[in-house]
Amino acid sequence: MLIEINKLTMKYSTLRSHKMILNAIDLNIEANSFVAITGRSGSGKTTLLNLIGGLLKPVSGEICVNGEKITSYHEARLAEYRRKNIGYVFQTYNLMPELTVYENILLPIHLDKQKEDQKYIDQIM
């Protein structure tokens, strides 16, 4: 997966203040590369990952994944993008509590109307 980020800006606003989190950053991540995003608490690491994962919309700039500009996707297309391309482990897990771990793994496969691949599921487990 190739990720290209151009002039990406993100800020959070409250009634009293505006906080610039990312200010016109550029970043290219080549396919099959290993990248570590490091920085102090509050520096924008999680915000950047949430933007790449399509969980947040930037104030400005663009994110292209494999040549497709995900920053222009509507919510349904973003959900499909996440199901097919993004693996996310949140600090709080965000699993469906009424499902087993196995059923949680199957959920995106079923939502995407794919056939279950037991070997793949066993690898994840």
The whole-angstrom separation of Cα 35 and Cα 109 is 27
83 — phi, psi (to 5°)?
-60, -40
**pLDDT tens digits, 73-120:** 999 999 889 888 887 777 777 777 888 888 888 887 888 788 888 888
pLDDT value at residue 68: 92
The whole-angstrom separation of Cα 35 and Cα 82 is 19
Strands laid side by side in the 3-13 sheet = 18-29, 3-13, 60-65, 68-69
Instruction: Tell how far CA 68 is from the center of its chain.
Output: 14
Rounded (10°) CA dihedral 40, 1, 101, 104: 110
Domains assigned to the chain: 3-86 (3.40.50.300), 89-125 (no CATH)
Nearest partner of 54 among 64, 41, 39, 42, judged by Cα? 64
Q: How confident is the model at residue 56 (pLDDT cuts 50, 70, 90)?
A: very high
Q: How large is the average pLDDT for residues 27-38? A: 92
Degrees to nearest 5, angle at CA 55 with 80 and 123:
60
